[in-house]
Amino acid sequence: MEDLALWTTSLVLVGTSAFLFLFLVSWAAQGIAEWSSFAHEQAAHGQVAHLSDFWVEFGQSTLENWQSEFLQLFSFVVVSAVLIHHGSSESKDGTERIERSVEEIRTMLREAGLPPRTTR
């Protein structure tokens, strides 16, 4: 049992580290690409690209990107929950399948000679 806990913990740490590494690499790549764009834009206007101005623009674009991603994810989760709650055609099979499975289990228990459970 301890081996399983150790293995699970190791797997979580490796997965977390891998995703953190991918996040940092992609964020750095975004920064490099945006610096290039920022420097070209400043040069086109006859201005010198300052790192302090870049950090403001980079922070703004990063937060805008995260905002749109979280808004999209939040919208997807809410719409999915509403559709499931209202019983859309996408989620119809759940209740009927569960009721059928419960009835099959009750039938098997009766056939096995076990007394039915009384409700509380």
DSSP per residue over 51-91, as a string?
A: HHHHHHHHHHHHHHHHHHHHHHHHHHHHHHHHHHHTT-TTS
Report if residue 120 sits inside a domain: no
Report if residue 6 sits inside a domain: yes
Answer for the pair 82, 88: CB distance below 8 angstroms, yes or no.
no
- Our CA angle for 92, 97, 98, nearest 5°, is 110
Report if residue 22 sits inside a domain: yes
What pLDDT was estimated at residue 109? 85
Report if residue 9 sits inside a domain: yes
What pLDDT was estimated at residue 119? 61
Structural domains in the chain (count):
1
Q: Is the pLDDT of residue 16 over 80?
A: yes
Report if residue 118 sits inside a domain: no
Ranking 51-55, 67-71, 88-92, 104-108 by mean pLDDT, the lowest is 88-92
Report if residue 49 sits inside a domain: yes
Report if residue 35 sits inside a domain: yes
Report if residue 119 sits inside a domain: no
pLDDT band at 93 (very low <50, low <70, confident <90, very high): low
Its domain, for residue 50, covers 2-111
